[in-house]
Amino acid sequence: MRRYVFGRLGQVILTLLIYVTLVYFLMQAMPGDITMMYLSNPKIPQAAREELRKQLGLDQSLFMQYFSYMKNFFRGELGVSFSQYPKPVWDILMEKLPRTFVLFLTANVLSFYIGFVLGKVIAWRRGRAIDYAATVVGITFWTAFYPLLALVVIWLFAYNLKWLPLNQFIDPRLWSTAPFTANQVFGNMVSGAAIVAIGIFLISYYLLRGLKPSRRSRVYAWSLAAALVAAVLVIAARKGMLIYIWDITRHMILPVLTLTLINFAGTMLLMRDSMLETVQEDYVLAARAKGLPDHVVRDRYAARTALLPTVTSLVLSLASSMSGGMVTETMFSWPGLGQTLFTAALSNDYPLATGALAFTGIFLLIAHFIADILYAVLDPRITYTGQSDV
Amino acid sequence: MNELVPTHETGSASLAEPLWKIRWKLIRRGIAQNWEIFKESRIGMLGIILIIAFGIFGAMWPIMINTVWDPMVYDPVVGFDPMTMHPSPPSATHLFGTDPIGRDILAQLMYSTGREFLLGVLSAVITVVIGTAVGTAAAYYGGFIDTFFMRIADIILLFPFIPLLVVIGSMVRLSFLPFAVIMGVLGGFGGITIILKAQALSVSVRPYIDAARIAGGSDFHIIVSHIIPNVLPLSFLYMMFSVTSAILSEATLSFFGVLNIDMSWGMMIHTADVAGYLFDFAKYWWLWAPAGLAITLFCAAFYMVGRGLDEVVNPRLRKR
Amino acid sequence: MKSWKGLLATLIITVLVAAIAVPGFAGSNGLYEMSIFENPTTFNLFSATGPQSTVWNDFVASSQYYTSLYGLAQPYMIFVPSVAADVPSELKKEKIGGTTYYTSIVKMRKDVKWSDNTPLTADDVVFSYNAILDMDPNKLGGNWPSIVDPTVLERVEKVDDYTVKFVLKEKPGLAQWQYGVLQAYLLNKSYWEPVFAKAKKAADPVKELFAYEPVGEPVAGPYMFAKWEKGAFVQNVANPAYSMKGEVTTFYEDGNVTIENPKTGFKWQSGKPTGKVQLKVTEGPNASGTLYRILGNQAAAVMSLIGGQVDFILNSLGLQRGFQEQLSQAQGVSVMENNVNGFRFMMFNLRKYPFSIREFRQAVSVLIDREYICNEVLQGIAFPQYSVVPPGNAFWHNPDAPQLGKGLTRTEKIAEAVRLLKKAGFSWEAEPQIDLENNKVIKRGKGLIMPNGEKMPSFDFMIMTAGYDPLRYTFGLNIAQWAKDAGIPMEAAPTDFNVISDKIFEEQDFDAGLMGWSLTAYPDHMRWFFHSDQAGIGGFNPQGYSNPEFDKLADKFMAESNMDKARKQAFELQEMLAEDLPYIVLFDTPIIEAYRSDRLEYPYTQILSGLQRYGALTSTVKLLK
Amino acid sequence: MDTLLRLEDLTMHYKTKAGWVQAIDGVSFSLDKGQSLGLVGESGCGKTSIAMSIMRLLPYNAQLVKGRILFGGRNLYALSDEEVRQLRWKEVAMIFQAAMNSLNPVYSVGNQIIEAIVTHEPETGEDEARERVESLFELVGIPKERMDHYPHEYSGGMKQRAVIAMALACNPSLIIADEPTTALDVIVQDKILREIEDIRRKINMSMIYISHDVSVIAEVSDVVGVMYAGKLLELGPADDVFKRPKNPYTYSLMHAYPSILGEKHDLVTIPGEPPNLLDPPTGCRFHPRCDWATKECGETAPLWREITEGHYLACHNPIRTKQGKSCKQQKTAKGGDVIDTSDGN
């Protein structure tokens, strides 16, 4: 295992190096640079433009720029933003990360869960009406024109029915007097969610362990879980954060809904396929022969082993959505990494754009890594030895 | 897999009729068999029907513009109808109405259909050709070539696709062909190589490959006439999926206005958007619904065909 | 696992139900809420005026927090004192230490206070100018060099607590003096002096200065910073110590202005105001604060406006026609339309033959049917324009400058173009055939032969992509068509904006292109766009127009410090340009804006470039309730 | 002895694109408590189909044409799915052909058995079930600490044992062992078979062995049924059938395998291939390959009749020991010898 991990790590770093280099030169190859904004105002003398070039180090040769960039990169600095000179790119990204993270984590987990359940069901009912219906509907959403769908959803639920807040991720009227920043709240939300998740996992692990937990232990589990959630909420309330968390949640619903609509089909179809393979396994037949109830055979035998590939897909999609949210974030006025990347590109802010892309790259690499480990955890058959390409 | 195109039989070269004839027969039989299996999948058939429908629709464009429609009015790009205020709702003269600058929606829709086909198929073909070539080569030669291309694939997989294209687009507005090519190439060296390589690998270890090698077939010959035919069905499957992704990306990028394309479904929606009509969806439905639906159905069609092929390509998905 | 599912499901459902059931938060009273489309990037005046001089930073911060010695009284853009007590004294030559300088004395108001209630004195003014001067405005970049212009301003000296003396290197023109130096923002010395001192010591003073994030900076403007939730909103609060509050500016029909401050008794008037009062504007701020929501796209903003979360949409491009249509039907929303100060134009590379031939350009200009495109194709979302000084800029616009080909039919235009080309010695392999009676083109011209006997090769006319700007795209395509009618082999080439500006400004390697400018009130742009000394790479005369006569007049105009003389010269310049056509001005779009008329009342809504140009009048708007 | 399981004229067909596959055709037999029945026949002759019919685990395209299955007097095909579910494993358990794959790779073996127990006996608690599994493991000879290991950590033989343990988990009254040992090498095979037999005897339960391997069947079953192409050709007490095979197919089948006692005798290979069950031959389905076949065999199907007590047969002209000097007769003689000697020990 260790040898595997190290081998993999080496690979990761090499890949990252090449990736960043590619991104960097790609950006440099683009026409125009930030100083072109001075062209919009004739009163700005040429001298000023030269000065700016000097400040941003654009007067140096491309390779000098590249090397200094790389040097910084491995010191963990992503350079200084042009459009927000002299603000470090890292700070800007860190400021955006929590929002993007919370939104897409929620959306991905939800759409994954729905996709997983649906896929399970339609694979089990394969060939029946529900199978076709779900597949067709799923594909239609999967291939729906996303920006349009987003607009329609907003128009329908927020504008026409007035059910949910229009856009943005918080309501300024509430927040204008907020004692803390949105990012603090996001941070607390993440940690809170984590606590609840882990808590519930442990509860279900210890109390609902085994195959047929007694009613008593189930009641315990439930009440404990509920208590945990309540506790977390109370803490939030004591901090005076509850209302703000609530506000953010309200604003999250629409984007999450849209993302889920778009994405659930991916998991669903993947789940369906991999489950169609597992249902033909002998142990599924054996399980039925054992006289296990239908849903047990489905969930614990067919689905459980079919889960593996879909989990990897979840991890990867999570990572890629760290920047894939460009459309969502623009449509829902949800300023995150994606939007930053877009505006950076539009304003020729190479360091920021490069930084954002590199950042995603790192995220994805880590995700791949985690995915492999997860695989090993979920499937007892896999044990990692020297060779790395699994 | 080799039940699909039983290539190993083609190894026996000493026969009366020329080899290519036999091969052709076999391929024909292979296709016929696959078609039989494919027909089983309703989803796939639905897709086929949709695609045909779109084909007809697109084919009507040149006919209409050369016969019925006056180019001055119905040209999808510079056409203009002075008769009404624009955007005008559906009417006898404009079945789907006109866009904010007085161009006929139906004409744009038809004109674009052809283009979308071109875009999708072109980029898909590029993807698959590259993917197949690289994949088989990597599988056949292994060693350096293998690792090299696999690393490339890894790296390309790191790129967030749409954002990257938007970034590039926002700096150089890509025009039609370059965009198709970029899509194709990125796709070709990306994930598909890995999949096709795996497939090719499973083939290249089959005994008849060694047989052919011993029989003194050149690497090229072996790859082309023994490995590739077995990889093709899978490639074809991924072709369908890459069509979908190409079209969707095009639409998204057009919507962001970062492509240099004179007309496409995405452009149609973009035009409505920048003119401020993508707002009251009920009132100005004809500005977004036709194009939006076209995009979805078109992509869905190819995706469904892909699903159908999936059942052909990997037997485990088939009904027993 | 079971409890996972159950819990998740219940959670989701409860949240959904609650979210729908519980209403949103009511509008907080007294807040003037606007929407912007991009984050402000800084609240540091130096970077906000320097490299980060984005319109958003200006909307939210600079234009709200700071005052200057002089300003322009809106809506008529009349030059009036602000912190100064009266117009600056006449410039006079003065010998200081061997070199001759021009000097001018400016008396200041004694009743102006910073938000921390300390008086705004000569020290602050002196500091504001000199600090920037020894930082080197060019290094600060952005608009600094054009405001605190080092080529003109030597230094500022304190005479007494409320009097300062400007020492100038040379005799400045209106643009540099009244419309430049004198309108620079003023800084609070006691706050900024230590910051500057620290920056000076740093390795890169400018970087250090830009990196500084002001907290609790005393300001003298109507509003001051309250809260910035990055990516969501910015909130300003009314400056409690704002000295100009309640000040009444009265505009008379004879063009004179009076300013009275009932609170402090300050009075000022230009000339001898007589005749009817045209408009009275009372300075606020009347709102307890301003709130800027950051929205991702137009549709979102418009929905918010209708939904009442936003009172005004700040957007330098205004609203599209589609929104206008739908907003004009919305309850409690009013839509206004204003001229803008700018134009879209096509230009030829005059270094190349035959574009250098004046008649050729005139012919092209004649061929373009601006009225047809604007009124028919674009249905009034754009209006035709001929002059480099838009009619909207009434004081400076010359209505009598020639407008070639205006009002001709399509065929008449062709005929006229043919006449002009022939005059210049052009000929055709097949001359265009037209039917003037029925206004029909029988046969397009073919094979244009240039005066030097060669056949004219077809050339590219770079236009914006349909995605970037549909208007210019449509316009460009049509122009190319018309040019072909007369046999001019022009090919419209949709090109990305970055590429266009690269080719034109960086490389000057182009034949023809379609661009656009938006302008400032004072029309000195004519000097920058057409003076031959701007023809070099990176200059603003990339088309390479060079006309000694024009240069001479332009220089004179720039140096002119008398309004009326300057105006006459501006008119002359416009006539020259209308004949020479270094730019073929095409059209511009009015700016459409909307606001919640049930919550707001503006003192006026008719103003060049719309209310957005002035941050939607935060200091004079009235909130109804 | 009272009968536990009775198949009455069971006829079950599969629907395929090509047509109806007549997998089981008019099979009837009955099985008493504590009795073990061996079904033998070439692969694809419908043995497994019968097993599946009894478990009611037939694929969706299978159809019961006629006949019925009575288990303890109840008609299996009249029961509701739920009733059948409860019946499974509690009453009828099964040892699967591919023991290797009939264990879920992602759960520990112990858990999979416990699962079976608690599903059918909800009242038994976790720990009780565990104890029982431990004793089962002892019974089949797996160290009980291996309980919490995963299938992939087991050897082939151990898996097989585990599967047997699982089958015994709810001590059912009938176990169907479908090719229980094919995957194993002969030594282990033999060992396991004997173990199964011992256990069976101990707890006196009924068993159906299914195998293509006569030697296996010969070893363990009281009653032997010989199947061919979906039909039962001969059924009777093991020694009876093996000593005096009446049906030519039984005869040749016996000689198509080496005797497990390793006695030398030349193998008789059966000419031709098993028929296509889409359209089986008319008359006796074996007649195209039968040396004894007469005209009649090709025309009318032989009746299923009891020739001696408990010995059933479907054949027009069964082998008679008198019948004489033909080459076939020598074969018979030889065959006879073999059987006699085998009978000797």
Q: Which string of DSSP letters, residue by residue, matches A19-51? A: HHHHHHHHHHHSS--GGGGGGG-TTS-HHHHHH
Q: Cβ–Cβ of A333/C207 closer than 8 Å?
A: no
Positive or negative: CA dihedral C435, C438, C439, C444? negative
The answer to whether B258 contacts C467, with C-beta atoms less than 8 Å apart, is: yes
For A367, list phi and psi in degrees, rounded to 5. -60, -50
Indicate the average pLDDT of chain A: 83
Of residues C19, C31, C146, nearest to A164 (C-beta): C19
- Dist CA C487 CA C447 (whole Å): 6
**The token pair that represents C141 in the structure block:** 């970049």
Chain A residues in contact with B288 by the CB 8 A cut-off are 148
d(CA A262, CA C620): 47
| Segment 286-325 of chain C within 8 Å of chain A by CB | 291, 293-297, 299-300, 303-304, 306-307, 309
The reported pLDDT for the residue numbered A296 is: 83
Question: Taking 60 as the threshold, does the pLDDT of residue D335 lie above it?
Answer: no
Please state, in angstroms and rounded to a whole number, the distance separating the CA atoms of residues C423 and C408.
19
Q: Which of D83, D146, D151, D92 is nearest to D116 (CA)?
A: D92
For residue A192 the two structure tokens come to 């809170």
The CATH code of the domain that includes B194 is 1.10.3720.10
The pLDDT of D201-207, averaged and rounded, is 85
CA angle D46, D47, D49 (to 5 degrees): 60
Kindly determine whether residue A291 and residue D105, on different chains, have CB atoms separated by under 8 Å: no
Task: Quote the DSSP letter at residue C181.
Answer: G
Structure confidence at residue A163 as a pLDDT band (50, 70, 90): confident
Q: What is the pLDDT of residue B150?
A: 85
CB contact under 8 A, B155 and A155: no
Substitution target from B50, B167, B186 for chain A, most A beta carbons within 10 A: B167
Count how many pairs of residues, chain B against chain C, have C-beta atoms within 8 Å.
86
Residues of chain B with C-beta less than 8 angstroms from the C-beta of A22: 155
Residue B64 backbone class (left: φ over 0; alpha: ψ -120 to 50; beta: rest) = alpha
Q: What is the pLDDT of residue C237?
A: 94
Given a contact cutoff of 8 angstroms between Cβ atoms, the answer to whether D10 and D28 are in contact is yes
Closest Cβ opposite residue A381 in set D57, D105, D111: D105
| CA distance to partner chain B, nearest, from residue C209 (Å) | 31
- Are chains B and A in contact at 3+ CB pairs closer than 8 Å? yes
Going from N- to C-terminal start, the domains of chain D cover 99-171, 246-343
Question: Mean pLDDT highest for which of A277-291, B226-240, C412-426?
Answer: C412-426
User: Does C528 touch chain A if contact means CB atoms closer than 8 Å?
Assistant: yes
Please report, for residues A85, C94, C273, C388, D147, the alpha-carbon distance to residue A80 in angstroms, rounded to integers and kept in the order given.
6, 47, 55, 39, 60
- D93 interaction partners in chain A (CB closer than 8 Å): 289
Helix axes C563-580, C358-367, angle to 10 degrees: 90
Instruction: Give the residue with greater pLDDT, D123 vs C225.
Output: C225
Contact flag for D and C (3+ C-beta pairs < 8 Å)? no
Q: What is the pTM of this model?
A: 0.84
Q: Does the CB of C468 have a partner CB in chain B at under 8 Å?
A: yes
Is A307 in contact with D105 (CB distance < 8 Å)?
Answer: no
Q: How many Cβ atoms sit within 10 Å of the Cβ of residue B315?
A: 12
With CA atoms as reference, the chain C residue closest to A109 would be C8
pLDDT tens-digit readout, C200-246: 999 989 999 999 999 999 999 999 999 999 889 999 999 999 999 99
Task: Pick A332's closest partner by Cβ from C291, C296, C498.
Answer: C296
Put simply, the answer to whether A291 touches D116 (Cβ < 8 Å) is yes
E strands, chain D, in order = 3-15, 20-32, 36-40, 62-71, 74-75, 92-95, 174-178, 206-211, 223-228, 231-237, 305-308, 311-313
* CA–CA distance, A116 with C192 (Å, rounded to integer): 60
Are the beta carbons of B43 and A151 separated by less than 8 Å? Answer: no
Kindly give the pairing relationship between strand C163-168 and strand C266-269.
unpaired
Residues of C in Cβ contact (< 8 Å) with B278:
299, 322
Q: Which residues of B touch C317 (CB under 8 A)?
A: none
Alpha helices in chain A (DSSP H): 2-29, 46-56, 62-74, 89-124, 129-142, 146-153, 172-175, 182-206, 215-239, 242-278, 282-289, 294-296, 304-324, 326-331, 337-346, 350-378
State whether B267 and C474 contact (CB < 8 Å): no
- Residue segments in chain C with a per-residue pLDDT below the cut of 70: 1-7, 24-29
The answer, yes or no, to whether residue D183 has pLDDT greater than 70, is no
Helix (H, G, I), strand (E, B) or coil at A256: helix
The complex's ipTM works out to: 0.81
Chains touching C (at least 3 CB pairs under 8 A) are A, B
Higher pLDDT among residues B294 and B167, named by residue: B294
pLDDT at A380: 66
Residue A177 phi/psi, 5-degree rounding, is: -115, 15
Domain positions in chain A: 1-30+78-163+241-390
Provide the mean pLDDT of chain B: 83
Phi, psi angle pair for C277, to nearest 5°: -80, 130
Answer whether residue D333 shows pLDDT above 80: no
CB atoms within 10 A of CB C520: 17
Cis peptide bond prior to C75, omega within 30° of 0: yes
Cβ contact D106–A305 (<8 Å): yes
Percent of chain A exceeding pLDDT 90 equals 10
Q: Is residue B187 part of a domain?
A: yes
Q: What is the mean pLDDT of residues D250-255?
A: 78
Residue B161 within any structural domain of the chain = yes
Whether residue A30 and residue B46 make contact (CB cut-off 8 A), yes or no, is no
Mean pLDDT of A128-147: 90
C459-468: b (≥16 Cβ within 10 Å) or e: bbbbbbbbbb
Kindly determine whether residue A167 and residue C232, on different chains, have CB atoms separated by under 8 Å.
no
Question: In sequence order, which residues have a C-beta less than 8 Å from that of residue A297 and are 6 or more positions away?
Answer: A284, A287, A288
Neighbours of chain D (3+ CB pairs under 8 A): A
CA distance, residue A283 to nearest chain D CA (Å): 4
**Between these two residues, A137 and D297, which has the higher pLDDT value?**
A137
Confirm or reject contact between A179 and chain D (CB < 8 A). Answer: no
Q: Do B317 and A276 touch (CB under 8 A)?
A: yes
Look at residue D292 in the predicted model and tell me its pLDDT.
Answer: 77
| Chains in contact with B, counting 3 or more C-beta pairs less than 8 Å apart as contact | A, C
C109: DSSP letter: -
In this predicted structure, which of A338-342, A384-388, D310-314 has the lowest mean pLDDT?
Answer: A384-388
Q: State how far residue C293 is from chain A, nearest Cα, in angstroms.
A: 7
- Min Cα–Cα distance to chain B from A364, Å: 6
Q: Is residue B16 part of a domain?
A: no
A and C: number of Cβ contacts within 8 A: 202
Count CB neighbours of C311 within 10 A.
Answer: 27
Residue C4 near chain A (CB below 8 Å) = yes
Mean pLDDT of A147-155: 90
The sign one gets for the Cα dihedral D41, D46, D47, D48 is positive
- Nearest Cα to Cα of residue A254 among A174, A146, A328, A335: A328
CA distances from C382 to C279, C578, C592 (A): 30, 21, 11
Cα-Cα-Cα-Cα torsion C421, C423, C427, C430, nearest 10 degrees, comes to 70
Say which of A18, A139, A338 has its CB closest to residue B300.
Answer: A139
How far is the alpha carbon of A299 from chain D, nearest alpha carbon, in Å?
A: 12
Q: Does pLDDT of D261 surpass 70?
A: no
Q: Does residue A389 belong to the interface with chain D, where contact is any CB pair within 8 Å?
A: no
Is residue D326 over pLDDT 70?
Answer: no
**Amino acid sitting at position C120:** L
Mutation target among A148, A262, A277, A372 for the B interface, most CBs of B within 10 A: A148
Tell me which chain B residues have a C-beta less than 8 angstroms from the C-beta of C307: none
Closest by CA to A116, choosing from A262, A310, A316, is A310
Top CATH class, A1-30+78-163+241-390: mainly alpha
pLDDT digits (tens, 9 = 90+) for A16-52: 888 889 888 888 887 777 777 777 777 778 788 888 8
DSSP A77-100: ---B-STTTTSBHHHHHHHHHHHH
Q: Which residues contact C564 (CB under 8 A, 6 or more apart)?
A: none
Contacts of B164 in chain A (CB under 8 A): 357
Q: Which residues of B touch C302 (CB under 8 A)?
A: 276, 279
C21: its two tokens = 């059931």
Q: Which domain holds residue B308?
A: 57-317
Block residue for tokens 């419908």: D46
Indicate yes or no: CB of A22 within 8 angstroms of CB of B155.
yes
Instruction: Specify if B44 maps to a domain.
Output: no
- Could you report the per-residue pLDDT of A56-77, keeping only the tens digit for each? 888 888 888 888 888 888 887 8
Using CA atoms in the order D36, D39, D40, D43, what is the torsion angle rounded to 10 degrees?
-140
Q: CB distance from B274 to chain C under 8 Å?
A: yes
B280 falls in which pLDDT band (50, 70, 90)? confident
In a domain, B96, yes or no: yes
Instruction: Determine whether the interchain pair D106/A380 forms a contact, defined as Cβ–Cβ distance below 8 Å.
Output: yes
What is residue A209's predicted lDDT score, i.e. its pLDDT?
A: 60
Residue type, D29: F
Report whether pLDDT(A363) > 90. Answer: no
Q: Between vectors from CA D18 to CA D15 and to CA D19, what angle results, nearest 5°?
A: 45
Residues of chain A contacting residue C468, judged by C-beta atoms under 8 Å apart? none
| Lookup: tokens for D110 | 């112990």
Task: Give Cβ neighbours of residue D269 (< 8 Å, ≥ 6 apart).
Answer: D256
Average pLDDT over residues A349-375: 82
Q: Which chain C residues contact residue A334 at CB under 8 A?
A: 296
CA distances from residue D151 to B193, D102, D112 in whole angstroms, order as listed: 34, 10, 10
Contacts of B255 in chain A (CB under 8 A): 145, 147-148
For D2, list phi and psi in degrees, rounded to 5. -95, 145
Window from A173-182, A256-265, B159-168, C177-186 with minimum mean pLDDT: B159-168
- CA D308 to the chain's CA centroid: 22
Contact (CB, 8 A) for C593 and C578: no
